[in-house]
């Protein structure tokens, strides 16, 4: 099988540094992990070209790459939200201003491909598999927007997409309910000690 290649050169010192392995990298081979780590490093500029013959794991690498980018962007977004929430001063006159600032800073990731089928294939994988959090829990991003002509090879594809979007929303709501339950349990425990 061929190996994935990037247009960037590989820094051997990078391999010697300890890296925090994301759960989305565990199923990748060393070449794929290197591509994702190099592309998502803070020092990376420009673009990365992922090339390989059929069957070398390009789609799997792209899914992991999107997962890693999404995790990083959501982490930055949460830090931004904390700054907005705890920010004081005349520039923040109302909660509405704070919410608008938060919405404007929400992360957005653009995915393009040479063919509509490639975009549809990646879209389908994200809908079916979702992403993995840093702790290895499966989650689905908030929303997707698919622009351009969609290749519908099977009329069930549209139904599957709608079903997956509903499943993602339901999963997010259930996750939020569980977090609220955990917070309520903590509050109950604190109240019972009083």
Cα gap 151→115, rounded to integer Å:
9
Report the alpha-carbon angle 64-51-32, nearest 5.
35
Q: Give the tens place of pLDDT for each residue, 137-192.
A: 998 887 777 777 665 555 555 666 677 777 777 888 888 888 899 999 999 999 99
Residue 67's pLDDT is what?
93
Q: Give the tens place of pLDDT for each residue, 36-59.
A: 998 888 777 777 888 888 888 998
Residue 55 near residue 1 (C-beta atoms within 8 A): yes
Q: Give the tens place of pLDDT for each residue, 98-126.
A: 777 777 778 888 888 888 888 888 888 88
Confidence of residue 65 (pLDDT cuts 50, 70, 90): very high
Q: Give the tens place of pLDDT for each residue, 126-150.
A: 888 889 988 889 988 877 777 776 6
Please name the residues in contact with 116: beta carbons below 8 A apart, sequence gap of 6 or more: 148, 149, 150, 151
Tokens describing residue 129: 């598999």
- Is 14 in a helix, a strand, or coil? helix
């Amino acid at each position: 099988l061929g190996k994935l290649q990037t247009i960037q050169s590989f820094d051997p010192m990078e391999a010697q540094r300890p890296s925090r392995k994301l759960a989305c990298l565990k199923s990748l081979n060393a070449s794929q992990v290197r591509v994702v780590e190099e592309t998502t490093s803070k020092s990376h500029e420009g673009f990365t070209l992922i090339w390989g013959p059929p069957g070398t794991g390009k789609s799997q690498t792209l899914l992991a790459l999107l997962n890693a980018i999404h995790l990083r962007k959501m982490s930055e977004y949460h830090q931004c939200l904390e700054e907005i929430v705890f920010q004081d001063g005349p520039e923040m006159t109302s909660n509405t201003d704070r919410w608008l600032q938060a919405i404007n800073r929400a992360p957005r990731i653009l995915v393009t491909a040479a063919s509509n089928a490639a975009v549809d294939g990646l879209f389908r994988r994200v809908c079916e598999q979702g992403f993995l959090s840093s702790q290895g829990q499966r989650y689905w991003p908030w929303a997707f927007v698919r622009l351009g002509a969609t290749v519908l090879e099977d009329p069930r594809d549209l139904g599957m997409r709608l079903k997956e979007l509903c499943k993602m929303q339901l999963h997010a709501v259930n996750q939020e309910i569980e977090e609220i339950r955990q917070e309520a349990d903590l509050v109950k425990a604190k109240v019972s000690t009083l």
